[in-house]
Amino acid sequence: MLQTSQQLVQRARSGNIAAIGRLMSRAEVGAAECRPALADIYRLAGRAHVIGITGVPGSGKSTLATRLAVCLRQSGRRIGIVAIDPSSPFSGGAILGDRIRMQELAGDPGVFIRSMATRGALGGLARGTLEAVDILDAAGYDTILIETVGVGQDEVDIVRAAHTVVVVSAPGLGDDIQAIKAGVLEIADIHAVSKCDRPDANKTIADLKNMLTLVHAAPEAWRPPVVPTSSHQREEGIDALLEAITQHHVWLQQGGRLAARRRNIVAQRLLKAAESLIRDRFDAQRGAHTEGLIDSVAARDIDPFSGAIALLKTLQIEVS
Amino acid sequence: MSSPPIRVLLAKVGLDGHDRGVKVVARCLRDAGMDVIYTGLHRTPQEVVQAAVQEDVDVLGVSILSGAHMTIFPRLVDGLRDAGAGDIILIGGGVIPDEDVVALKALGVSELLLQETSPADIVDTVRRLVQERGPR
């Protein structure tokens, strides 16, 4: 007997774990049946503080998320964690291993952990991540941590999901020029430098701080702090990181900044949703027309741009 | 839209530090296009049930090489049912005597894959059981 998504919303709101989990699965698939239920969820959500944690693979995102969650739990807050790992570009399958680092949280009824696979999404999040966050929010989780897939330099979708973004840098990767490049480092509200028990950590900390002094910020603007952390020496830096997150949250709540940030997030989300609807239609309808055009482009009879225009014409989309 | 990948949670429960096998299984299922969540070693039955329910997996696969299968599997079956997640398919793996296989299946473990099972058989079994269960 299948439960409708609307029934699941009712049970999820009363804190039923199985209903929350099932609703997330349906949101990830994106079936039409689920849309009205997700619309209800969206209306109910909007209370939680959403914290994004991003950084290169192996920088310590899972470990840091776990330490943060443990500390936040001590204040009685209920914590949701959405952890994203990559899908195989070949089989489409994935090994989602973030729970291995999160064993300290296992069994805690105040913590909900969901693992998601990217399934081809390129921005550092997975399809359905934002909906999963909404579901946790509507189910009454106070703080939600999103741990992105390990990112490179340009996967910055986390800024359209989180109110506070923590970028985790590990020592020993690149010089001071890396620190002034555009991309992921620019989106940080807080920089965490992990593994700061290592001798080369001071250089990473100094590079980041130097980079930040080059920014010409308005006096009232948020200045991203650089927080050294180490899980090797258990609690090192976690309190400072938590303090920085709290300060950022307080700063956001002044002068309408949080409302502005939320508006910015939903603006990007709206556009992305429209984009993905068009992409779905494109993928569903392009079918038979594609192969012949690929042959023509491969034979260099036509160029890829003209081929694209011809392809869109078969879908009744006129571009020039 | 194509159907979503089958989600599987693989777990090691109790005092059993042997996880080479479960990692091989994880890799096989991944290469068959499934999403595989691995919990790591030394979990309790309650922790595994909670993780399976939060992750809303199709299949919970538990590898036990310690001989504690007759203690652990009943707790998993009860835990899933109590959490309202009786539709999660429970599969056991490991070194398990024939008479215990019969007993565990009677208790509600869907399938037991013993040490001779080939990777292809594991993938086929997971697919077949999920197909038989149908949509949810």
Residue A180 confidence (pLDDT) above 60: no
- The better pLDDT of the pair A221, B9 is held by B9
- Which pLDDT score is estimated for A35? 92
- The better pLDDT of the pair A77, A151 is held by A77
- The whole model's pTM is what? 0.89
Residue A86: list chain B partners with CB under 8 A: none
Q: How confident is the model at residue A182 (pLDDT cuts 50, 70, 90)?
A: low
Residue A88 confidence (pLDDT) above 50: yes
Q: Beta-carbon neighbour count of residue A158 at 10 Å?
A: 26
Residue A152 confidence (pLDDT) above 80: no
- Which pLDDT score is estimated for B123? 97
- Which pLDDT score is estimated for A174? 65
Does residue B134 come out as left (phi exceeding 0), alpha (psi in the -120 to 50 range) or beta?
left
pLDDT tens digits, one per residue of B38-64 = 998 889 999 999 999 999 999 999 998
Residue A17: list chain B partners with CB under 8 A: 50, 53-54, 83
Distance from CA of A123 to the nearest CA of B (A): 19
Residue A3: DSSP 8-state: P
Residue B53: list chain A partners with CB under 8 A: 17-18, 21
| Cα dist from B112 to A135, B34, B98, B122, whole Å | 35, 19, 10, 10
- Which pLDDT score is estimated for A279? 84
Q: Mean of the per-residue pLDDT values for chain A? A: 89
What does the angle CA A42 – CA A44 – CA A47 come to, to the nearest 5 degrees?
100
Window 75-104 of B: residues touching A by CB (8 A cutoff) are 83-85
Residue B34: list chain A partners with CB under 8 A: 93
What does the angle CA A54 – CA A223 – CA A80 come to, to the nearest 5 degrees?
35
Contact residues for B76 (Cβ-Cβ < 8 A; gap 6+):
B13, B45, B48, B49, B60, B62, B90
- Which pLDDT score is estimated for A233? 65
Q: Which of B32, B40, B54 is opposite residue A93, by nearest beta carbon? A: B32
Mean pLDDT calculated for residue range A207-225 = 85
Mean pLDDT calculated for residue range B2-30 = 88
Between CA B88 and CA B81 the distance in angstroms is 9
Residue B55: list chain A partners with CB under 8 A: 21, 113-115
Does residue B49 come out as left (phi exceeding 0), alpha (psi in the -120 to 50 range) or beta?
alpha
Burial group, residue A40, by CB count within 10 angstroms (0-12, 13-18, 19+): middle
Mean pLDDT calculated for residue range B10-29 = 88
Residue A217 confidence (pLDDT) above 80: no
Window 178-237 of A: residues touching B by CB (8 A cutoff) are none
CB-CB under 8 Å, B32 with A106: no
pLDDT tens digits, one per residue of A236-289 = 799 999 999 999 999 999 999 999 999 999 998 899 889 888 888 888 888 777
Q: Which of A103, A107, A115 is opposite residue B55, by nearest beta carbon? A: A115
Phi, psi (deg, nearest 5) at residue A79: -120, 130
- Which pLDDT score is estimated for A248? 97
Residue A148 confidence (pLDDT) above 50: yes
Q: For A146, what's the count of Cα atoms within 13 Å in the CB-facing half-sphere?
A: 31
Closest residue on chain B to A117 (Cα): B35
Residue B6: list chain A partners with CB under 8 A: none
Mean pLDDT calculated for residue range A48-66 = 92
Q: How confident is the model at residue B30 (pLDDT cuts 50, 70, 90)?
A: very high
- The better pLDDT of the pair A232, B79 is held by B79
Q: ipTM of the predicted structure?
A: 0.89
**Percent share of chain A, pLDDT over 70:** 95
pLDDT tens digits, one per residue of B75-122 = 999 999 999 999 999 999 989 999 999 999 999 999 999 988 999 999
- Which pLDDT score is estimated for B1? 41
> How many A×B Cβ pairs under 8 Å?
97
CB-CB under 8 Å, A31 with B56: no
- Which pLDDT score is estimated for B42? 86
Q: How confident is the model at residue A179 (pLDDT cuts 50, 70, 90)?
A: low
Residue that has been written with the tokens 């310590």 in this structure = A60
What is the token pair recorded at A306?
């003209």
CB-CB under 8 Å, A117 with B5: yes
| Cα dist from B128 to A25, A85, A89, B110, B111, whole Å | 20, 26, 24, 11, 11
- Which pLDDT score is estimated for B2? 55
Q: Which of B27, B37, B54 is opposite residue A17, by nearest beta carbon? A: B54
Instruction: Determine contact, residues A150/A167, Cβ cutoff 8 Å.
Output: no
